[in-house]
Amino acid sequence: MVRRMIHPMPRRDRTLTTFGKNVCRFRTQKGFSQDKLAEKANLDRTYVSGIERGVRNPSITVVIKLARALGVTTDQLCKGVGA
Protein backbone atom coordinates (compact mmCIF):
# COMPACT_ATOMS: atom_id res chain seq x y z
CA MET A 1 0.00 0.00 0.00
CA VAL A 2 1.34 3.39 -1.02
CA ARG A 3 0.61 6.27 1.28
CA ARG A 4 0.51 9.68 -0.20
CA MET A 5 1.04 12.76 1.83
CA ILE A 6 -1.65 15.32 1.32
CA HIS A 7 -0.28 18.80 1.19
CA PRO A 8 -2.71 21.65 1.76
CA MET A 9 -2.92 24.29 -0.91
CA PRO A 10 -0.62 27.16 0.00
CA ARG A 11 -2.45 30.21 1.23
CA ARG A 12 -2.47 33.09 -1.16
CA ASP A 13 -0.86 36.25 0.09
CA ARG A 14 -3.52 38.87 0.82
CA THR A 15 -1.30 41.62 -0.58
CA LEU A 16 -1.10 39.83 -3.92
CA THR A 17 -4.79 38.94 -4.05
CA THR A 18 -5.80 42.53 -3.25
CA PHE A 19 -3.49 43.86 -5.93
CA GLY A 20 -4.81 41.29 -8.40
CA LYS A 21 -8.41 42.26 -7.66
CA ASN A 22 -7.54 45.90 -8.28
CA VAL A 23 -5.95 45.06 -11.63
CA CYS A 24 -8.99 43.00 -12.61
CA ARG A 25 -11.42 45.73 -11.54
CA PHE A 26 -9.67 48.45 -13.53
CA ARG A 27 -9.24 46.13 -16.50
CA THR A 28 -12.94 45.31 -16.65
CA GLN A 29 -13.89 48.98 -16.12
CA LYS A 30 -11.80 49.81 -19.20
CA GLY A 31 -13.44 46.98 -21.13
CA PHE A 32 -10.09 45.27 -21.69
CA SER A 33 -9.61 41.54 -21.99
CA GLN A 34 -6.56 40.04 -20.33
CA ASP A 35 -5.08 39.76 -23.82
CA LYS A 36 -5.62 43.47 -24.49
CA LEU A 37 -4.14 44.52 -21.15
CA ALA A 38 -1.16 42.22 -21.66
CA GLU A 39 -0.57 43.70 -25.10
CA LYS A 40 -0.81 47.30 -23.85
CA ALA A 41 1.53 46.56 -20.91
CA ASN A 42 3.92 44.44 -23.01
CA LEU A 43 3.37 41.38 -20.79
CA ASP A 44 2.29 37.81 -21.43
CA ARG A 45 -1.43 37.12 -20.95
CA THR A 46 -0.71 34.19 -18.64
CA TYR A 47 1.36 36.51 -16.44
CA VAL A 48 -1.54 39.00 -16.24
CA SER A 49 -3.84 36.10 -15.33
CA GLY A 50 -1.46 35.04 -12.56
CA ILE A 51 -1.35 38.58 -11.20
CA GLU A 52 -5.15 38.80 -11.13
CA ARG A 53 -5.36 35.43 -9.34
CA GLY A 54 -2.80 36.54 -6.76
CA VAL A 55 -0.26 33.85 -7.61
CA ARG A 56 2.33 36.18 -9.17
CA ASN A 57 4.39 38.76 -7.33
CA PRO A 58 4.99 41.51 -9.89
CA SER A 59 8.02 43.76 -9.75
CA ILE A 60 7.60 47.53 -9.40
CA THR A 61 8.41 47.79 -13.11
CA VAL A 62 5.43 45.56 -13.92
CA VAL A 63 3.19 47.53 -11.54
CA ILE A 64 4.13 50.72 -13.41
CA LYS A 65 3.51 49.07 -16.81
CA LEU A 66 0.07 47.92 -15.67
CA ALA A 67 -0.84 51.33 -14.24
CA ARG A 68 0.16 53.07 -17.48
CA ALA A 69 -1.70 50.53 -19.62
CA LEU A 70 -4.82 50.99 -17.48
CA GLY A 71 -4.53 54.79 -17.32
CA VAL A 72 -4.45 54.85 -13.52
CA THR A 73 -1.85 55.78 -10.93
CA THR A 74 0.22 53.20 -9.10
CA ASP A 75 -1.48 54.54 -5.96
CA GLN A 76 -4.89 53.59 -7.35
CA LEU A 77 -3.64 50.18 -8.44
CA CYS A 78 -2.15 49.48 -5.01
CA LYS A 79 -5.12 50.75 -2.95
CA GLY A 80 -5.74 48.48 0.03
CA VAL A 81 -2.54 46.51 -0.53
CA GLY A 82 -0.79 45.74 2.74
CA ALA A 83 -3.66 47.14 4.77
CA dihedral 67, 68, 73, 78 (to 10 degrees): 10
Rounded average pLDDT over 62-81: 96
Segment 8-50, tens digit of pLDDT: 556 678 999 999 999 999 999 999 999 999 999 999 999 999 9
Angle between helix 45-53 and 34-41 (nearest 10): 110
Domain presence at residue 65:
yes
In a domain, 6, yes or no: no
Q: pTM for the full model?
A: 0.84
Q: Specify the pLDDT at position 2.
A: 59
CATH number at residue 70: 1.10.260.40
Which residues span the domain enclosing 25? 14-74
What CA–CA distances, in Å, run from 34 to 5, 50, 58, 63?
36, 11, 16, 15
| pLDDT for res 1 | 57
Q: Quick check: is 66 in a domain?
A: yes
| Total of domains in the chain | 1
